[in-house]
Structure 1
């Protein structure tokens, strides 16, 4: 069968679109397969760390939004701040970021096909996706947190630990500071991201199944600051957040997973977009060199620091002996806290 493209990309979210941009720069012929119209919304903290801003700028993607100068942690009476040392991050609506990436991909001449990948068939010479009925040398599965492709290949590992979920809503409230505020509560965390002069994104990470208003009620000061009558968007949710993978390369190197589809720890450190960009760059580099089998090791190396720190923070969050001491410890060790934040940023 003839090859329609070098790289088929299942999923047109930020990970899939970034993979397409890296592929064009590597001299490959990609196509993006995405059934949703752009821009697509998703429950997201909407804070880009400085590393993500730099990566998007290097891809010639204009990054709009408000500058983010750092991160503020709040737990009871304890507060600690860490400023970004390598330039500001950005607070940007998910739809705005998706639109910017979508426009950059179209400007690069990459076709975006409105289609859902129903089935993947791989052989020694390439991959065929049924639904759009296209064939390529490789498939990059960027089909999200609950990747149907990962399920179809039997790569997901069930996790017995308690699940965590994310909820997000926007409020017509001026940001309280030029930083992301992280408030620690009994069952999770609340993230306040400055998105505009009179717009703040409120994202809740929680292990408790309850409505957004009930969850926000666990933070009395925030519930008063963000009353439901000032909400300007509906609530969006995502989860369970933790997704474990057996591996990120399948079908003899013909199918590779990127973004949330490659596995996910937690949104606690706010690094989803940065990790997706790092994974996309590693995936395309392995294909450019004709060594897709190297992607597993490259992905692991590119994401190791973030995965380790996130796992440690989530474990500390779940332990009753340490959960209430995270921010107090950071206030006593501000240099260490700043180093951790900037390592993640």
Structure 2
């Protein structure tokens, strides 16, 4: 059976839409299947690191947002911060980012169809999504942290680590810093992202299951700045965060974004890794070298994966976790180097 398209992208989040943009500009006949209506929101820290800002710029996209000048760690009375050396990051509402990507994909002539894909069938010449009428030479699974395509193909790897979860809410208060603040407590972190003149986003990462309000009280200094009546959005959650897959390529199915595997949101690199993965994937399809995608993905993401893994492991060691911020405070140059390696 002949394929109707070059690429069928399952999932219309940032990873899928960025893949569609790269594909359209490479001359590939592309279609996106996404059942949710744009813009799509999700639990997200909403801070774009400078690398993500540059990657969006390379796609010709200008994303308005609140400039972020660096990262600050806070634990009790301890403070340590590092400025970005190569341009600012941006605090951007997830819905705004999604709207800009979605519009660019529409303007590029790529159809986004309101279809749900969970099962795929592949043969020597293409991949079919049963029940949708869609078939393509290659299928890109960009269907998120708990990828139905990954699960249907039996590619998930059982994870024995302590699960971590993310919760996010917005507050109508003026940002008090141009830095993303990371507040540390015994069982989790709170991320404060400036998003507008009267808006901050609070993302909690934690290994404990408890309501947002309960979790927030574990950060007394932060909770005092955020009266309950200033909350302006519902709580959104995600997790468990760590997801592993056996491979980034399975026959004619290629994985990108969170569906390609995810360690943790601790270093805030999800969007950057999605954009980088999208470029590597399309480049290999265009060149006819899909077998190199796994190698290119590993090379492009290695630094971020290694640093995130080390930080998460230290975070989960009772003897090491309380020392992360004090160590960073004593070694500010090392902290700045790590921040800018990720940025």
CA contact under 8 A between 2:168 and 2:203: conserved in structure 1? yes
Contact 1:64–1:92 under 8 Å retained in 2: yes
For 2:256, the equivalent position in structure 1 comes to 258
Q: Which residue in 2 is equivalent to 1:104? A: 104
Task: Kindly tell me the number of residue pairs found equivalent between the two proteins.
Answer: 343
- Structure 1 vs Structure 2 CA RMSD: 0.7
Structure 1: distance between partners of 2:203 and 2:26: 36
Deviation at 1:330, TM superposition (A): 0.7
1:290 corresponding residue in structure 2: 288
Q: Distance in 1 between matches of 2:43 and 2:24?
A: 29
Choose which of 291, 297, 300 in structure 1 pairs with 2:298: 300
Residue 248 of structure 2 corresponds to 248
What CA distance in whole angstroms lies between the structure 2 residues aligned with 1:153 and 1:293? 18
Q: Deviations over 1:291-333 (max 9, x none)?
A: 1111111111110000000000001111111111111111111
| Partner residue in 2 for 1:31 | 31
SS of 1:324's equivalent in the other structure is helix
The Cα of 1:62 is off from its aligned counterpart by 1.8
Q: Which secondary structure does the structure 1 equivalent of 2:82 belong to? A: strand
Contact 1:6 1:29 in 2 (8 A): yes
Q: Please give the alpha-carbon distance, in whole angstroms, between the structure 2 residues aligned to 1:160 and 1:228.
A: 36
**In the aligned structure 2, how far is the partner of 1:327 from the partner of 1:126?**
50
Matched with 1:342 is 340
Distance 1:117 1:81 in 2: 44
Q: Secondary structure at the match of 1:330?
A: helix
Q: Distance in 1 between matches of 2:183 and 2:131?
A: 44
Aligned to 1:225: 225
1:318 aligns with 2:320: no
CA distance in 1, matches of 2:123, 2:175: 53
Contact 2:2 2:125 in 1 (8 A): no
Asked if residue 130 in structure 1 is aligned to residue 137 in structure 2, the reply is no
Counterparts in 2 of 1:48-127, with a 5 A limit?
48-127=48-127
Aligned counterparts of 1:228 and 1:165: Cα–Cα separation in 2: 22
Q: Show structure 1 runs of 5+ residues with no match.
A: none
Q: TM-score, normalised by structure 1?
A: 0.98
Deviation at 1:106, TM superposition (A): 0.5
- Report the equivalent of 1:172: 172
Contact 1:116 1:131 in 2 (8 A): no
Structure 2 residue ranges without an equivalent (≥5): none
Confirm or deny: 8 A CA contact 2:74 2:181 kept in the other structure: yes
Measured after TM superposition, the shift of residue 64 of structure 1 is: 1.1
Deviations 1:60-111 (A, max 9, x none): 1221111100011111111001000110000000000000000000011111
8 Å contact kept, 2:2–2:126: no
When residues 325 and 212 of structure 1 are mapped into structure 2, their CA distance, relative to the original with a 3 A threshold, is: same
For the residue of structure 2 that corresponds to 1:143, the secondary structure is coil
Between the aligned partners of 1:200 and 1:263, the Cα distance in structure 2 is 28
Counterpart in 2 of 1:44?
44
Q: Deviations over 1:116-173 (max 9, x none)?
A: 0142110000111123211111000000000000001111111111100000000001
SS in 2 for 1:244: coil
Quote the Cα distance in structure 1 between the aligned partners of 2:181 and 2:64: 20
Distance 1:281 1:231 in 2: 37
Worse-matched range after superposition: 231-240 or 153-162: 153-162
Following TM superposition, where does structure 1 have runs of at least 4 consecutive aligned residues deviating by more than 6 angstroms?
A: none
